[in-house]
Structure 1
Amino acid sequence: MQEQKTDPALLRYVAFSADPAGGNPAGVVLDATGFDEPAMAATAAEVGFSETAFVVPQDDGTLRIRYFSPRTEVPFCGHATIATAVAYAERHGVGELRLRTKAGLVHVSTDRTPDGRVVATLESVPTRMAPVPEDALAALLDALRWPAADLDPALPPRAAYAGAWHPVIAAGTRERLAALDYDMPALAALMARHDWATVDLVWRETPVVFHARNPFPPGGVVEDPATGAAAAALGGYLRELRLVPLPARVTVHQGYDMGRPSTIEVGIPAQRAGGVTVTGTAVPLPG
Structure 2
Amino acid sequence: MTNHTTSSPDSSTHLVAHADADVEVLRYSAFTTDPAGGNPAGVVLDAEALDDTRMLAIAAEVGYSETAFVTAHDTAARRYRLRYFSPLAEVAFCGHATIATAVALASRTGTGELVFDTPAGEIRVSTTRQDGSLRATLTSVPAHSRPAGAALVDTVLRALDWSRDDLDPQLPPHIAFAGNDHLVLAVRSRERLAALDYDFDALHALMREHGWTTVHLVQRQAPDRLDFHARDPFPVGGVVEDPATGAAAAAFGGYLRTLGLVTEPVRAHLRQGEDMGRPSDLYVDIDPDDARIRVTGAAVPLAN
Q: TM-score range by the shorter chain?
A: over 0.9
State which of 17, 42, 50 in structure 1 corresponds to 2:32: 17
1:152 and 2:168 aligned: yes
Shift of 1:12: 0.4
In 2, Cα distance between equivalents of 1:217 and 1:57 = 30
1:133 and 2:149 aligned: yes
Look up the match of 2:79.
Answer: 62
Shift of 1:233: 0.6
State which of 212, 228, 232 in structure 1 corresponds to 2:250: 232
Shift of 1:272: 4.1
State which of 259, 266, 276 in structure 2 corresponds to 1:248: 266
In 2, Cα distance between equivalents of 1:47 and 1:10 = 8
Pairing of 1:85-104 with structure 2 (within 5 A) = 85-104=102-121
Contact 2:262 2:286 (8 Å CA) reproduced: no
Contact 1:208 1:244 (8 Å CA) reproduced: no
**TM-score normalized by structure 2?**
0.91
Shift of 1:56: 2.2
Structure 2 unpaired stretches of 5+:
9-13, 16-22
1:265 and 2:280 aligned: no
**TM-score normalized by structure 1?**
0.96
SS state at 1:55 partner: strand
Shift of 1:62: 2.0
Percent of aligned pairs sharing the same letter: 58
Shift of 1:97: 0.6
The one-letter code of the counterpart of 1:129 is S
Look up the match of 2:52.
Answer: 37
Look up the match of 1:176.
Answer: 192
Shift of 1:264: 0.3
Contact 2:31 2:96 (8 Å CA) reproduced: yes
Look up the match of 2:126.
Answer: 109
Q: 1:257-286 deviations in whole A, cap 9, x for unaligned?
A: 11000000000012143x100000000111
Contact 1:121 1:277 (8 Å CA) reproduced: yes
Contact 2:262 2:287 (8 Å CA) reproduced: no
RMSD over equivalenced CA pairs, Å? 1.4
In 2, Cα distance between equivalents of 1:286 and 1:80 = 17
Look up the match of 1:220.
Answer: 238
Structure 1 unpaired stretches of 5+:
none
Contact 2:6 2:303 (8 Å CA) reproduced: no
Contact 2:7 2:303 (8 Å CA) reproduced: no
The farther-off stretch of 157-166 and 125-134 is 125-134
Shift of 1:116: 2.3
In 2, Cα distance between equivalents of 1:272 and 1:17 = 27
Q: 1:234-270 deviations in whole A, cap 9, x for unaligned?
A: 1000011112342110000000011000000000012
Look up the match of 1:166.
Answer: 182
The one-letter code of the counterpart of 2:157 is L
State which of 136, 140, 164 in structure 2 corresponds to 1:124: 140
In 1, Cα distance between equivalents of 2:260 and 2:146 = 15
Whichever structure has more strand as a proportion of its residues is: 2
Shift of 1:103: 0.5
Look up the match of 1:276.
Answer: 293
Distance 1:283 1:277, change over 3 A: same
The one-letter code of the counterpart of 2:238 is G
Shift of 1:129: 1.2
Look up the match of 2:18.
Answer: none
Look up the match of 1:193.
Answer: 209
In 2, Cα distance between equivalents of 1:193 and 1:132 = 14
In 2, Cα distance between equivalents of 1:209 and 1:15 = 19
Look up the match of 2:61.
Answer: 46
The one-letter code of the counterpart of 1:110 is T
The one-letter code of the counterpart of 1:17 is T
The one-letter code of the counterpart of 1:211 is H
The aligned length equals 285
SS state at 1:153 partner: coil
